[in-house]
Chains A and B, each alone.
Chain A
Amino acid sequence: MAYSEKVIDHYENPRNVGSLDKKDPKVGTGIVGAPACGDVMKLQIKVEDGVIVDAKFKTYGCGSAIASSSLVTEWVKGMAVDEATKIQNKQIAEELSLPPVKIHCSVLAEDAIKAAIEDYQRKQQAEASAAEEATGS
Protein backbone atom coordinates (compact mmCIF):
# COMPACT_ATOMS: atom_id res chain seq x y z
CA MET A 1 0.00 0.00 0.00
CA ALA A 2 1.25 3.46 -0.82
CA TYR A 3 1.65 5.76 2.14
CA SER A 4 1.28 9.51 1.68
CA GLU A 5 4.37 11.69 1.97
CA LYS A 6 3.17 13.07 5.29
CA VAL A 7 2.73 9.59 6.75
CA ILE A 8 6.23 8.62 5.64
CA ASP A 9 7.64 11.83 7.09
CA HIS A 10 6.05 11.21 10.51
CA TYR A 11 7.00 7.54 10.36
CA GLU A 12 10.64 8.23 9.57
CA ASN A 13 10.94 11.29 11.82
CA PRO A 14 8.35 10.77 14.51
CA ARG A 15 7.82 13.81 16.72
CA ASN A 16 7.66 13.60 20.48
CA VAL A 17 8.45 9.93 20.96
CA GLY A 18 8.92 9.11 24.61
CA SER A 19 7.27 9.08 28.00
CA LEU A 20 6.23 11.55 30.67
CA ASP A 21 6.01 10.66 34.36
CA LYS A 22 2.59 9.04 34.62
CA LYS A 23 2.50 9.69 38.38
CA ASP A 24 2.82 13.47 37.89
CA PRO A 25 -0.61 15.02 38.64
CA LYS A 26 -0.09 17.37 35.70
CA VAL A 27 0.30 14.41 33.31
CA GLY A 28 -2.56 12.55 31.67
CA THR A 29 -1.95 9.14 30.10
CA GLY A 30 -4.10 7.47 27.47
CA ILE A 31 -3.46 3.89 26.43
CA VAL A 32 -5.57 2.41 23.66
CA GLY A 33 -5.35 -0.58 21.36
CA ALA A 34 -6.67 -1.81 18.04
CA PRO A 35 -7.52 -5.43 18.84
CA ALA A 36 -7.97 -6.51 15.22
CA CYS A 37 -4.36 -5.71 14.34
CA GLY A 38 -2.59 -5.84 17.70
CA ASP A 39 -1.56 -2.16 17.65
CA VAL A 40 -1.07 -0.36 20.93
CA MET A 41 -0.71 3.38 21.44
CA LYS A 42 0.27 5.39 24.53
CA LEU A 43 -0.23 9.15 24.40
CA GLN A 44 0.62 11.47 27.29
CA ILE A 45 0.03 15.15 27.86
CA LYS A 46 1.39 17.57 30.46
CA VAL A 47 -0.95 20.40 31.39
CA GLU A 48 -0.17 23.72 33.04
CA ASP A 49 -2.86 26.37 33.61
CA GLY A 50 -5.27 24.60 31.28
CA VAL A 51 -2.77 24.48 28.43
CA ILE A 52 -1.00 21.39 27.09
CA VAL A 53 2.68 22.25 27.45
CA ASP A 54 4.12 18.89 26.44
CA ALA A 55 3.00 15.71 24.70
CA LYS A 56 4.71 12.38 24.14
CA PHE A 57 3.72 9.12 22.52
CA LYS A 58 4.81 5.55 22.05
CA THR A 59 3.04 3.58 19.36
CA TYR A 60 3.71 0.01 18.38
CA GLY A 61 1.85 -0.47 15.16
CA CYS A 62 1.80 0.33 11.47
CA GLY A 63 3.12 3.49 9.82
CA SER A 64 -0.32 5.11 9.80
CA ALA A 65 -0.81 4.53 13.53
CA ILE A 66 2.63 5.98 14.30
CA ALA A 67 2.01 8.97 12.02
CA SER A 68 -1.46 9.61 13.51
CA SER A 69 -0.14 9.71 17.07
CA SER A 70 2.93 11.72 16.09
CA LEU A 71 0.71 14.29 14.38
CA VAL A 72 -1.64 14.56 17.36
CA THR A 73 1.22 15.23 19.80
CA GLU A 74 2.41 17.95 17.45
CA TRP A 75 -1.04 19.50 17.21
CA VAL A 76 -1.91 19.51 20.90
CA LYS A 77 1.28 21.16 22.15
CA GLY A 78 0.30 24.69 23.13
CA MET A 79 -3.39 23.91 22.78
CA ALA A 80 -5.93 24.51 25.56
CA VAL A 81 -7.25 21.24 27.01
CA ASP A 82 -10.82 22.17 26.00
CA GLU A 83 -9.69 22.69 22.44
CA ALA A 84 -7.82 19.38 22.34
CA THR A 85 -10.98 17.47 23.30
CA LYS A 86 -12.45 18.63 19.99
CA ILE A 87 -9.85 16.90 17.81
CA GLN A 88 -11.55 14.44 15.52
CA ASN A 89 -10.19 11.48 13.65
CA LYS A 90 -11.45 13.01 10.39
CA GLN A 91 -9.01 15.90 10.71
CA ILE A 92 -6.14 13.48 11.32
CA ALA A 93 -7.12 11.26 8.39
CA GLU A 94 -7.42 14.29 6.10
CA GLU A 95 -4.10 15.78 7.14
CA LEU A 96 -2.31 12.47 6.51
CA SER A 97 -4.42 11.47 3.46
CA LEU A 98 -5.11 8.08 5.05
CA PRO A 99 -6.78 5.52 2.77
CA PRO A 100 -10.11 4.03 3.99
CA VAL A 101 -8.45 0.85 5.31
CA LYS A 102 -6.27 2.98 7.60
CA ILE A 103 -8.99 5.24 9.00
CA HIS A 104 -9.06 3.15 12.18
CA CYS A 105 -5.50 4.36 12.91
CA SER A 106 -6.77 7.95 13.12
CA VAL A 107 -9.66 6.77 15.32
CA LEU A 108 -7.08 5.21 17.61
CA ALA A 109 -5.20 8.52 17.89
CA GLU A 110 -8.44 10.39 18.67
CA ASP A 111 -9.30 7.81 21.35
CA ALA A 112 -5.78 8.12 22.79
CA ILE A 113 -5.85 11.91 23.18
CA LYS A 114 -9.38 11.75 24.67
CA ALA A 115 -8.26 9.05 27.12
CA ALA A 116 -5.21 11.13 28.11
CA ILE A 117 -7.37 14.19 28.76
CA GLU A 118 -9.86 12.12 30.79
CA ASP A 119 -7.02 10.68 32.85
CA TYR A 120 -5.67 14.18 33.51
CA GLN A 121 -9.12 15.47 34.52
CA ARG A 122 -9.66 12.49 36.82
CA LYS A 123 -6.36 13.26 38.53
CA GLN A 124 -7.28 16.93 38.93
CA GLN A 125 -10.63 16.05 40.50
CA ALA A 126 -8.96 13.59 42.85
CA GLU A 127 -6.47 16.27 43.85
CA ALA A 128 -9.18 18.86 44.35
CA SER A 129 -11.24 16.60 46.59
CA ALA A 130 -8.12 15.58 48.52
CA ALA A 131 -7.32 19.27 49.05
CA GLU A 132 -10.88 19.92 50.21
CA GLU A 133 -10.63 17.15 52.75
CA ALA A 134 -7.29 18.44 53.95
CA THR A 135 -8.68 21.91 54.62
CA GLY A 136 -11.87 20.44 56.09
CA SER A 137 -14.14 22.59 53.95
Chain B
Amino acid sequence: MDDPFAILGLPRSADLGRADVDRAYFAALEAAHPDKVAGGDEAARRRAELAAARINEAYRALRTPVGRLETLCRLGGIDLDSSDPKRGAPMPDTAFLTEMIERREAIEAARRAGAGALEDLRDAVEDEADEAVAQARRALAGGDVAAAARALVRRRYLARLLDEIEEAMS
Protein backbone atom coordinates (compact mmCIF):
# COMPACT_ATOMS: atom_id res chain seq x y z
CA MET B 1 0.00 0.00 0.00
CA ASP B 2 1.31 3.41 -0.98
CA ASP B 3 1.99 5.86 1.81
CA PRO B 4 1.32 9.33 0.39
CA PHE B 5 3.05 10.94 3.39
CA ALA B 6 6.24 9.02 2.65
CA ILE B 7 6.04 9.84 -1.08
CA LEU B 8 5.98 13.55 -0.24
CA GLY B 9 8.56 13.17 2.53
CA LEU B 10 6.08 14.25 5.21
CA PRO B 11 5.56 12.86 8.70
CA ARG B 12 2.33 10.88 9.25
CA SER B 13 0.55 13.61 11.13
CA ALA B 14 -2.98 14.99 11.36
CA ASP B 15 -1.58 18.40 12.26
CA LEU B 16 -0.07 19.24 8.88
CA GLY B 17 -1.46 22.31 7.17
CA ARG B 18 -2.11 22.91 3.49
CA ALA B 19 1.08 25.00 3.30
CA ASP B 20 3.20 22.08 4.60
CA VAL B 21 1.67 19.76 2.01
CA ASP B 22 2.08 22.26 -0.84
CA ARG B 23 5.72 22.86 0.05
CA ALA B 24 6.50 19.14 0.21
CA TYR B 25 4.62 18.55 -3.05
CA PHE B 26 6.55 21.14 -5.04
CA ALA B 27 9.85 19.99 -3.56
CA ALA B 28 9.11 16.37 -4.46
CA LEU B 29 7.99 17.32 -7.98
CA GLU B 30 11.10 19.41 -8.47
CA ALA B 31 13.33 16.52 -7.43
CA ALA B 32 11.57 14.09 -9.73
CA HIS B 33 10.95 16.37 -12.70
CA PRO B 34 11.30 14.54 -16.05
CA ASP B 35 13.11 17.56 -17.54
CA LYS B 36 15.95 16.96 -15.11
CA VAL B 37 16.69 13.70 -16.80
CA ALA B 38 15.84 14.90 -20.33
CA GLY B 39 19.31 13.96 -21.46
CA GLY B 40 19.07 10.54 -19.86
CA ASP B 41 17.91 7.36 -21.50
CA GLU B 42 14.31 6.41 -22.23
CA ALA B 43 14.00 4.14 -19.17
CA ALA B 44 15.18 6.88 -16.82
CA ARG B 45 12.69 9.33 -18.32
CA ARG B 46 9.84 6.86 -17.87
CA ARG B 47 10.84 6.25 -14.26
CA ALA B 48 10.80 9.99 -13.67
CA GLU B 49 7.32 10.29 -15.19
CA LEU B 50 6.07 7.46 -13.05
CA ALA B 51 7.50 9.12 -9.94
CA ALA B 52 5.78 12.39 -10.86
CA ALA B 53 2.47 10.57 -11.29
CA ARG B 54 2.82 9.02 -7.83
CA ILE B 55 3.63 12.41 -6.35
CA ASN B 56 0.52 13.92 -7.94
CA GLU B 57 -1.59 11.07 -6.59
CA ALA B 58 -0.14 11.51 -3.12
CA TYR B 59 -0.85 15.23 -3.28
CA ARG B 60 -4.49 14.62 -4.28
CA ALA B 61 -4.86 12.37 -1.23
CA LEU B 62 -3.32 14.83 1.21
CA ARG B 63 -4.25 18.31 0.05
CA THR B 64 -7.45 18.59 2.12
CA PRO B 65 -7.72 18.12 5.90
CA VAL B 66 -10.31 15.35 5.43
CA GLY B 67 -8.07 13.66 2.85
CA ARG B 68 -5.18 13.64 5.34
CA LEU B 69 -7.36 12.18 8.11
CA GLU B 70 -8.85 9.54 5.81
CA THR B 71 -5.35 8.62 4.60
CA LEU B 72 -4.15 8.26 8.20
CA CYS B 73 -7.08 5.91 8.85
CA ARG B 74 -6.23 3.87 5.76
CA LEU B 75 -2.59 3.60 6.89
CA GLY B 76 -3.94 2.60 10.31
CA GLY B 77 -5.87 -0.28 8.75
CA ILE B 78 -9.34 1.16 8.04
CA ASP B 79 -10.12 2.05 4.44
CA LEU B 80 -13.13 4.37 4.35
CA ASP B 81 -13.69 3.72 0.65
CA SER B 82 -14.22 0.03 1.27
CA SER B 83 -17.44 -1.66 2.42
CA ASP B 84 -15.54 -4.57 3.94
CA PRO B 85 -17.08 -5.12 7.40
CA LYS B 86 -13.68 -5.58 9.06
CA ARG B 87 -11.25 -3.30 7.24
CA GLY B 88 -13.74 -0.94 5.59
CA ALA B 89 -15.87 2.01 6.66
CA PRO B 90 -17.60 1.23 9.98
CA MET B 91 -21.42 1.14 9.95
CA PRO B 92 -23.01 4.02 11.86
CA ASP B 93 -25.61 3.05 14.45
CA THR B 94 -29.31 2.93 13.56
CA ALA B 95 -30.06 6.06 15.58
CA PHE B 96 -27.70 8.08 13.39
CA LEU B 97 -29.10 6.58 10.17
CA THR B 98 -32.64 7.33 11.35
CA GLU B 99 -31.57 10.89 12.03
CA MET B 100 -30.14 11.15 8.50
CA ILE B 101 -33.53 10.11 7.07
CA GLU B 102 -35.46 12.48 9.30
CA ARG B 103 -33.20 15.38 8.43
CA ARG B 104 -33.81 14.76 4.72
CA GLU B 105 -37.47 15.13 5.51
CA ALA B 106 -36.61 18.36 7.33
CA ILE B 107 -35.12 19.71 4.07
CA GLU B 108 -38.57 19.56 2.50
CA ALA B 109 -40.14 21.26 5.51
CA ALA B 110 -37.46 23.97 5.51
CA ARG B 111 -37.96 24.61 1.81
CA ARG B 112 -41.64 25.20 2.42
CA ALA B 113 -40.95 27.35 5.50
CA GLY B 114 -38.73 29.66 3.42
CA ALA B 115 -37.16 32.77 5.01
CA GLY B 116 -33.71 31.41 5.71
CA ALA B 117 -34.80 28.03 7.08
CA LEU B 118 -32.62 26.16 4.59
CA GLU B 119 -29.68 28.43 5.39
CA ASP B 120 -30.09 27.67 9.11
CA LEU B 121 -30.18 23.96 8.35
CA ARG B 122 -27.07 24.25 6.18
CA ASP B 123 -25.18 26.17 8.88
CA ALA B 124 -26.10 23.57 11.51
CA VAL B 125 -25.00 20.66 9.33
CA GLU B 126 -21.77 22.44 8.39
CA ASP B 127 -20.96 22.90 12.08
CA GLU B 128 -21.63 19.23 12.77
CA ALA B 129 -19.44 18.15 9.86
CA ASP B 130 -16.63 20.40 11.15
CA GLU B 131 -17.07 18.92 14.61
CA ALA B 132 -16.83 15.40 13.19
CA VAL B 133 -13.53 16.34 11.52
CA ALA B 134 -12.26 17.79 14.80
CA GLN B 135 -13.27 14.59 16.60
CA ALA B 136 -11.44 12.48 14.05
CA ARG B 137 -8.33 14.60 14.48
CA ARG B 138 -8.45 14.25 18.27
CA ALA B 139 -9.02 10.49 18.00
CA LEU B 140 -6.04 10.07 15.67
CA ALA B 141 -3.87 12.20 17.95
CA GLY B 142 -4.79 9.72 20.69
CA GLY B 143 -4.03 6.75 18.43
CA ASP B 144 -7.68 5.63 18.20
CA VAL B 145 -8.09 4.84 14.49
CA ALA B 146 -11.48 3.14 14.96
CA ALA B 147 -13.00 6.21 16.65
CA ALA B 148 -11.52 8.45 13.95
CA ALA B 149 -13.04 6.25 11.25
CA ARG B 150 -16.47 6.43 12.91
CA ALA B 151 -16.27 10.23 13.02
CA LEU B 152 -15.17 10.38 9.37
CA VAL B 153 -18.08 8.17 8.29
CA ARG B 154 -20.42 10.58 10.09
CA ARG B 155 -18.74 13.40 8.19
CA ARG B 156 -19.38 11.60 4.88
CA TYR B 157 -23.05 11.30 5.71
CA LEU B 158 -23.22 14.95 6.75
CA ALA B 159 -21.43 15.98 3.55
CA ARG B 160 -24.04 14.14 1.49
CA LEU B 161 -26.79 15.81 3.48
CA LEU B 162 -25.13 19.17 2.87
CA ASP B 163 -25.08 18.54 -0.90
CA GLU B 164 -28.80 17.92 -0.81
CA ILE B 165 -29.49 21.04 1.26
CA GLU B 166 -27.46 23.12 -1.19
CA GLU B 167 -29.31 21.55 -4.10
CA ALA B 168 -32.61 22.51 -2.43
CA MET B 169 -31.31 26.08 -2.05
CA SER B 170 -30.38 26.50 -5.69
- Say if A and B assemble together: yes
Assembled-state Cα–Cα distance A32/B83 (Å): 13
Whether the Cβ atoms of A33 and B97 lie closer than 8 Å is yes
How many chain B residues touch A (Cβ–Cβ < 8 Å)? 21
Whether the Cβ atoms of B101 and A40 lie closer than 8 Å is yes
Which of A31, A34, A58 contacts B104, CB < 8 Å?
A: A58
Which of B80, B88, B157 contacts A33, CB < 8 Å?
A: B157
How would residues 25 to 51 of chain A score, 1 for a CB under 8 Å from any chain B CB and 0 otherwise?
A: 000000111111111101000000000
Whether the Cβ atoms of A35 and B100 lie closer than 8 Å is no
B92 proximity list for chain A (CB < 8 A): 33, 35
Interface of B is mostly: helix
Assembled-state Cα–Cα distance A104/B157 (Å): 17
B157 proximity list for chain A (CB < 8 A): 33, 38, 40
B81 to chain A, nearest CB (A): 6
Interface size classification for chain A: 10 to 19
Whether the Cβ atoms of A60 and B101 lie closer than 8 Å is yes
On whether A32 and B97 interact (CB within 8 A), knowing A60-B164, A104-B83, the answer reads: yes
B98 proximity list for chain A (CB < 8 A): 31, 42
A35 proximity list for chain B (CB < 8 A): 80, 83, 88-92, 153, 156
A98 to chain B, nearest CB (A): 14
How would residues 93 to 119 of chain B score, 1 for a CB under 8 Å from any chain A CB and 0 otherwise?
A: 010011011001000000000000000
Whether the Cβ atoms of A36 and B104 lie closer than 8 Å is no
Residue of B nearest to A61 (CB): B160
Q: For the complex, is B159 an interface residue (Cβ under 8 Å from A)?
A: yes
A123 to chain B, nearest CB (A): 15
Given contacts A31-B94, A36-B80, 6 further A-B contacts (CB under 8 A): A33-B92, A33-B97, A35-B89, A36-B81, A36-B83, A60-B101
